Amino acid sequence: MALPTRADDERVLKWIKLRSEGIPASAIAERSGKREEWVRVVTNRVLSADIKHCGPQVALKYWDRKSGPKR
């Protein structure tokens, strides 16, 4: 497995921003030419890592996995 590049990191940050704005993973995937599952898995991994590192309060800055973005 290849190490992620700066461009990979920037792409994931953009996906997280879009998801937090309420854009569904399916729309993000379509725009970026990736599979919806990949967008969901990658962004959810970042969310999980941030929660582990910073605590559960950080989830308020993300989306709700079941109903969309947290406001």
Output the pLDDT for position 66: 60
Q: What's the rounded Cα separation, in Å, for the pair 2 and 17?
A: 24
Higher pLDDT, 38 or 60: 38
Q: What is the pLDDT of residue 61?
A: 79
What confidence tier does 3 reach under pLDDT thresholds 50, 70, 90?
A: confident
Token pair for 15: 């996906």
Average pLDDT over residues 29-43: 96
* Global confidence as pTM: 0.79
Lowest mean pLDDT among 36-40, 46-50, 65-69: 65-69
